[in-house]
Amino acid sequence: MTAPLEARAIRVERGGRPVLDRVDFALRTGECVGLIGPNGAGKTTLLRALLGLQPVSAGRVLLEDRPIEAWEPSARARRLAYLPQQGGQAWPVRVERFVSLGRLPHLEPWRGPGPTDREAVSRAMAAADVTALADRPVTALSGGEQARVHLARALAVEAPLLLADEPTAGLDPYHQLQLMARLRALARRDGRAVVVVLHDLTAASRFCDRLCLLNAGAVAADGPPRTVLTPERLAAVYGVTPAPHPLPESAVLPWRCIDETRRDDDAA
Amino acid sequence: MSATILDAPRRAEPPFGLLLAGLGAAALVAAGIGLLGDRLSADAVAGFAALLGTHPDAAWDILIEVRLPRVLLGAMVGVTLGLSGAALQGWLRNPLAEPGLIGASAAAALGAVIAFYFGIADWLRFALPAGGTLGALVGLGALLLLVGRDPSTLTVILAGVAVSAFAAALTQLALNLAPSPYAALEVITWMMGSLANRSLEHLWLALPLTLVGWALLAGTGRALEALTLGEDAARSLGVRLDRLRWRIILGVGLSVGAAVSVSGVIGFVGLVVPHLLRPLCGYSPSRLLPASALGGAALVLVADAAVRTLSPGPELKLGVVTALIGAPFFLMLLRDVRRRGA
Amino acid sequence: MRRALHLLLLVGVLAAPVAAGPAAAAADKPARVVSLNLCTDQLALLLADPGQIVSVTALGARPEESLMAERAAGLALNHGDLEEVLPLRPDLAIAGRYTSRFTAAALARLGISVLELAHAESFADVRANIRRVAAALGTEARGAALIAAMDRRIDRLRRAADALGPAPRALIYRAGGHTLGPDSLAGAVLTLAGFENAAEAYGIARFGDVPVDGVLALSPDLLIVGVYRAEGPSLARDVTQHPAIRAHGVETLAVPTRRWGCGVPAALDVAERLIAWRKAWEAGS
């Protein structure tokens, strides 16, 4: 299988400290890859480096075998869609117009969106379940609704590659499941490729074909969920351990803290 | 940050073509009044139509050499201020951004004051507009040096405040050291902003740089649209932020510098016009550009026709009148913010 | 609203046969002169033939500002705007150097002669300005007579001043602590009246500001307070009410600014008053 997007031994420094070091990553067509790791592991930085938004001090990022920085920006944008972690909405634009911003890389100079673009927008809105919100101003929506509108905007690009940074944050369980199923279908059924940053390890193991576990700026493990999410690795990287079956207490989460000092996942 | 100000109750959004046509028609009507209206309080002076019967030469001079340049310059200044305000607000994603913010107005004023101060404007009639434009470009050069390679909006705003403050301080210094109190008085009067008594030569001198500025700003619509999503998302959509920054800073600098150098400082137009028109454009930053350009022209032409025809005694300064209209506008914003906060 | 109808009127007038052109002006003298500045108003009204001036500034017609307000009665008043001036079809415009730059430039562009006068800072400047205005108006003889009379009066005043004792020290004091040095017309009047200009000791040659403590340090024998109106409060006069200055008992003399604000021979009236003050001062001390 080909790898349209690839990072080879990339290094990113911030204030002289490496944030990513010798990271290899490949995204193949048709797969949905979960990018996981504790806070500060470098997930967002890796995503931005893959998009060409983050300059690398060593190594390189290749999009269809060409260095990412050599791409003409709008050609790159048609191949590589990005859903940032904190979506901005500077103005109270109507949802439909907001979603159609995803079509910008496709527009001819000085032309508005055409029929193809409008179809793509309505497909994306249906996929993210925001069709009913089409005429609402985007700033008047709830956090979860806004997250879905941002997803629709990213889907409207209809790029072969989609990089999404914590798209499930702020979504209710129903829309989380729906979103993950949608991303998996995008990869499996439509032949695209998806990288999704996740904190929900259950969702990650359920919906992703492959997981890439980052820890302290390096790849700790990369492979099918079953081989990545071993109890030893979870303990070493996250400081959590899977709960035994059956649950000895009435817990909602299937894991618990190993010790008090590492309870908050921000403490690391 | 700013979204709270803008979550105003939604007004109906008219068809975009109709909006542009309406604004254009308003500008044309104001231009017509500017060309043909006489001063209401001027009893000692023959009206234009009366003059046309008795002394047609003088009447045509008034129409072609006095009022036509005034109306054309008014349209030019209005388009510049509206367009610059819309571009800056879209770029910085801040409804309080305006041409004065990045130091263009203050630096242009300084350049013109230097032309006054060293007497260059005495022996070279067009040293004044040239000085203003040069001042704006030097100010923007300083801004770009201060901003360095960091394109963040906060850096730009801080650098703009620094450039503005320094230019204003130097202007005060020049006034303080002026060779004659009458020269200082002239500068102060000029800085109030006016279109009175300008000639077509002012237009020819200011227009080339203005057109370059407009062309640079007109091409920013799509990038501003993408910036609605934030900087990272905009870049992922193929927007080159570094290029956008250059376009906007140069576009605003050239056009505002040229405008300030012929008209003095006319405040608030660049702030008020985009803000009022934004809901009518569906909050689309790219639609706001042509709408604000026409709206700015309409506002400046209406205000100028008003000061010219309605002033009792000495003509009021246009810049003073726009400031009188504009200052309460902040009260409106404040009221909206507080209502939302309550 | 009524003015909006002018569009219709305009159409009507365009259709009507065009009236005869303006009558040919007299060959040598300008017949329709406008003045665009308060100080040029003074000179123009002094030197012109009756009827030669068609418009002066609105300030020139105000007695608080202008020495020639009476002669301005009945003339069209302008504020330096083109739209006020052009309908008068002037053949000469006299403008100050700074105050109506754009108007003067536009008039010149329209082929109207423009005489631009610098502000007079000395008696030599006054003579030069009188000569230039007289030449432009075609009233050279009147100008020469005015200059001769002024020079005779200067001589007389100088003799009167020389006959008096040691020079007292005076400081001109206007709104905001503004003062004038020896290189100004007021300074020249002060020198003529035999005063030492205290501003010079403060390092001021043409104009500048002196704070209240500076006034005390200079300890002038006389504070010549510039007043704009004879009655009513003035910012400069407030300074004389400052406790420190009152405690020192500095003598003050109020002089309306209009008397010596412009470069005209009447500025010598102030020298006359100053010499009279010196006589009283010497008698008193």
**Subunit contact B49:C9, Cβ cutoff 8 A:** yes
pLDDT at residue B210 above 50? yes
Give the model confidence (pLDDT) of A217-237 as tens digits.
999 999 999 999 988 898 888
B94, closest residue in chain A (CA to CA):
A90
pLDDT at residue A117 above 90? yes
State the angle between helix axes of C140-162 and C185-192 in degrees (0 to 180), rounded to the nearest 10. Answer: 50
C1 interfacial to chain B (CB closer than 8 Å): no
pLDDT at residue B147 above 90? no
Give the model confidence (pLDDT) of C166-179 as tens digits.
999 999 988 777 88
- Which residue of B128, B180, B307 is the best one to mutate when testing the C interface, meaning the one whose CB has the most C CBs within 10 A? B180
Residue range C186-206: average pLDDT?
92
Higher-scoring residue by pLDDT: C284, B76 = B76
Distance from CA of C106 to the nearest CA of B (A): 6
- Which residue of A91, A104, A141, A151 is the best one to mutate when testing the B interface, meaning the one whose CB has the most B CBs within 10 A? A91
Higher-scoring residue by pLDDT: C285, B157 = B157
**Subunit contact B232:A48, Cβ cutoff 8 A:** yes
State the angle between helix axes of C123-137 and C38-47 in degrees (0 to 180), rounded to the nearest 10. Answer: 60
pLDDT at residue C13 above 60? no
Instruction: Spell out which chain B residues touch chain A, with contact meaning CB-CB distance below 8 angstroms.
Output: 2-3, 6-8, 10, 93, 222, 225-233, 235-240, 278, 282-285
Q: Which of residues 312-341 of B touch C (CB under 8 A)?
A: 313-315
Give the model confidence (pLDDT) of B18-45 as tens digits.
999 999 999 999 999 989 887 776 554 5
Give the model confidence (pLDDT) of A123-139 as tens digits.
999 988 899 999 999 98
Chain B hits for C99, Cβ within 8 Å: 182, 185-186
Domain boundaries, given as residue ranges, for chain C: 2-117, 165-284
pLDDT at C233: 60
- pLDDT winner (highest mean) among B188-192, B195-199, C140-144, C279-283: C140-144
Pick from B230, B278, B283: which is nearest to A88 by CB?
B230
Pick from B227, B229, B239: which is nearest to A87 by CB?
B229
Pick the CATH number of B17-36+55-337 from 3.30.750.24, 1.20.140.10, 1.10.3470.10, 3.40.50.720: 1.10.3470.10
Pick from C79, C102, C207: which is nearest to B198 by CB?
C102
pLDDT at residue A263 above 60? no
Residue range B172-183: average pLDDT?
78
pLDDT at B22: 96
- How many CB pairs (< 8 A) connect A and B? 95
Question: What CATH architecture is C2-117?
Answer: 3-Layer(aba) Sandwich (3.40)
pLDDT at C24: 38
**Subunit contact A90:B222, Cβ cutoff 8 A:** no
**Out of A78-82, A154-158, B246-250, least confident range:** B246-250
Q: Which of residues 231-270 of B touch C (CB under 8 A)?
A: none
Distance from CA of B5 to the nearest CA of A (A): 10
Give the model confidence (pLDDT) of C68-109 as tens digits.
888 988 899 998 888 888 888 899 999 988 777 788 888 998
Distances (CA, A) of A18 to A12, A23, A50: 6, 11, 16
**Out of B138-152, B166-180, B277-291, C188-202, least confident range:** B138-152
For chain B, percent of residues with pLDDT exceeding 70? 89
pLDDT at C93: 96
Distance from CA of B183 to the nearest CA of A (A): 46
Chain B hits for A76, Cβ within 8 Å: 238
Q: Which residues contact C27 (CB under 8 A, 6 or more apart)?
A: none
Tell me, what DSSP letter sits at residue C62? Answer: -
**Subunit contact B3:A157, Cβ cutoff 8 A:** no
pLDDT at B121: 60
C152 interfacial to chain B (CB closer than 8 Å): no
- Which residue of B93, B224, B283, B284 is the best one to mutate when testing the A interface, meaning the one whose CB has the most A CBs within 10 A? B283
ipTM over 0.90: no
**HEC per residue, chain B:** CCHHHHCCCCCCCCCHHHHHHHHHHHHHHHHHHHHHCCCCCCCCCCCHHHHHHHCHHHHHHHHHHHHHHHHHHHHHHHHHHHHHHHHHHHHHCCCCCCHHHHCHHHHHHHHHHHHHHCCHHHHCCCHHHHHHHHHHHHHHHHHHHHHCCCCCHHHHHHHHHHHHHHHHHHHHHHHHCCCCHHHHHHHHHHHCCCCCCCCHHHHHHHHHHHHHHHHHHHCCHHHHHHHCCCHHHHHHCCCCHHHHHHHHHHHHHHHHHHHHHHHCCCCCHHHHHHHHHCHHHCCCHHHHHHHHHHHHHHHHHHHHHHHHHHCCCCCCCHHHHHHHHHHHHHHHHHHHHHHHHC
Higher-scoring residue by pLDDT: B132, C179 = C179
pLDDT at A231: 87
pLDDT at B4: 39
- pTM over 0.80, yes/no: yes
Chain B hits for A51, Cβ within 8 Å: 235-236
**Subunit contact B10:A137, Cβ cutoff 8 A:** yes
Average pLDDT score over chain B: 84
B308, closest residue in chain C (CA to CA):
C83
Domain boundaries, given as residue ranges, for chain B: 17-36+55-337
B124 interfacial to chain C (CB closer than 8 Å): no
Q: Across the beta sheet with A17-27, what order do the strands follow?
A: A17-27, A5-14, A58-63, A66-67
Pick from C7, C82, C88: which is nearest to B36 by CB?
C7
Give the model confidence (pLDDT) of C108-139 as tens digits.
988 999 999 988 999 999 999 999 999 999 99
pLDDT at C32: 95
Pick from B228, B231, B237: which is nearest to A77 by CB?
B237
- Flag whether A touches B (3+ CB pairs, 8 A cutoff): yes
**Subunit contact B308:C83, Cβ cutoff 8 A:** yes
Chain A hits for B239, Cβ within 8 Å: 73
Q: What is the CATH number assigned to the segment(s) C165-284?
A: 3.40.50.1980
